Amino acid sequence: MTRAQLTEKILDIKREKNWTWKYICEEIGGVSPTLIVGALLGQMKLVKPLAKKAATLFGLTEVEERMLNEVPYRGTAMPPTDPLIYRFYEMVMVNGPAWKALIEEEFGDGIMSAIDFDFHFERMAHEKGDRVKIEMTGKFLPYKYYGAEQGIPPYGFKEE
């Protein structure tokens, strides 16, 4: 069985049992819903105790349980073709240069981690149609200036 086949099996069981992602995440627990759903879709791994809970919930074999604990090959083809995912891509392509400039002005020369990262969303009622509110936080990782000497700062934190 491939990881993609395991994902399809999990999705088939989810449909068959009429489970929501919310229900599944509550049953597995332990980490954020984004990580659980990402793991079940093949983009993240579950630590062993959570892989065991997922395997029990979905009635998976021992080999399938171990697959949930393996580090996956992550990512998707670019540009993405799914309309919702494409809109995120579009937001970054259009607003990315401004976000980069604003973050660098505030923090210095570095990046926002997508590994040490949190994501939360909520539904907001709105008279013209409900809105999606998204909050993302990532650790700032300054670039390391290798070989820095003679008073040169070793990292790209904001200079005062």
Catalytic residues: 87, 90, 113
CA atoms within a 13 Å half-sphere pointing along the CA-CB vector of 29: 2
CA-based nearest residue to 122, from 134, 105, 109: 134
CA-based nearest residue to 107, from 156, 50, 55: 156
Phi and psi, residue 140, nearest 5°: -80, 130
